[in-house]
Amino acid sequence: MAHNLNYNERTGKYSFFSVQQKAWHNLGQIVEQYPTSAEAIKYAGLDFEVIKSPLYTRGTGISISNDGEIKEGGNILLPDNFATMRTDTNTVFGVVGKDYQIVQNADAFAFFDAIVGGGDGILYETAGALGNGERIFITAKLPDYIRVGNGDDVTEKYIFLTTSHDGTGSITAAFTPVRIVCQNTLNAALGNMSNVVRIRHTSGAKQRLENAHKVMELANQLSTQLEGIFNQWTKVRICDAEVKKLIQLALCPNKETLDAIKKGAEDELSTVFKNTVEDAFAYAMMSDTQQLNTTKGTVFGAYNAVTGYYQNVRNYKDDESKLQSIVMGGTAQTKAQRAFELCNQFSKDGADVLMLN
């Protein structure tokens, strides 16, 4: 599988670290103990500064100096435009305006430390840089867990943060639970409560990063509600035909496909869609993680069929594409949210929500 991890020719290292688990493609630094934020920055190759540098263009006209010398061109300053660049390699990331405020990599880690009032409660698990270092990401584990069933089906609580230095995108912090038994991401937004906080790269960006307690409040509220919902789902039975119908509805790509599903017209469904549904359904029926008491024949299992398909079955172009799809608002996250809403409706209203014939 291809990768887009930043390789620093100056240090001869890839910009990535992981605790205990194998780093992507055996690249990066693997550490045994959870590092401090200062250590994590170094392990991940994120210990560089980013600056805004004035932009100039080459003039095309001819000018005559005071002493009569004829000159061609000359550098012309472009007002209100700057290049962002890293100071260790002088690599230019992108062009930004005068109001763009750089959020240094150290600021991003400071955001995490502020979440729990210091480094003692936060565990940095992975961090890295993509491309030339213009996009960075950090995952950090929060204290406590979401416990499902008798408590043996455990979901860890993570905050995922990504930011860019090239003028694209916003600073994004997301509450991202991961079910331990299958390393399956269980992103979910509840009603009007999103699991994501986005902060623009403007003059107030750094100050808003320092208001990290808002993200912690979001994580606490969501984890409490999700624990109640997931435990309710383990008590709601669902048959195989209903699981398949729920998967069809969750993965449905357009109105034409939805109409065919409603009519039960399997012959009108595309081969690609039918194969995708079959793969997700097979995961629901055969995966070892789906045979636990909390998942087998339950609505919680149906939800994990969809999230687990995207996490553990589907092929991606590269790791960056997978990251984008699952935790950065891509297809997997969108479909998982649809599955979450369907499962929630099913647990309350039964099979009618699946429009079964």
The reply to whether 283 and 157 lie within a common domain is no
E runs forming strands in 33-164: 50-58, 62-64, 70-72, 75-86, 92-97, 123-130, 135-148, 153-164
> Which domain covers residue 152, as residue numbers?
7-48+101-230
Q: Does some domain include residue 160?
A: yes
- Tokens representing residue 161 in the block: 């943060």
Q: Does some domain include residue 338?
A: yes
Each residue's pLDDT tens digit in the chain (357 positions)?
A: 346 778 888 888 878 778 877 666 666 778 888 888 888 899 889 999 999 998 887 766 555 555 555 555 567 777 888 999 999 999 999 899 888 888 888 888 887 777 765 545 778 888 888 888 898 888 888 888 888 888 778 888 888 888 888 888 778 888 888 888 777 788 787 776 677 777 777 757 666 666 677 788 888 888 888 889 999 998 989 888 888 888 888 888 888 877 777 777 777 778 888 888 888 888 888 877 777 777 788 888 888 888 888 887 788 787 777 777 787 778 888 888 888 888 888 888 777 767 654
Model confidence, pTM = 0.80
The reply to whether 181 and 240 lie within a common domain is no
Q: Does some domain include residue 266?
A: yes
The C-alpha torsion from 296 through 297 and 300 to 305, rounded to 10°, is 80
Domain end among 213, 230, 247: 230
Structural domains counted in the chain: 2
The reply to whether 131 and 249 lie within a common domain is no
The reply to whether 224 and 261 lie within a common domain is no
- 196 Cβ contact partners less than 8 Å away, ≥ 6 residues apart: 172, 173, 174, 175, 189, 329
Cβ atoms within 10 A of the Cβ of 29, count? 17
Domain end among 230, 249, 269: 230
Domain end among 230, 262, 286: 230
Amino acid at 323: L
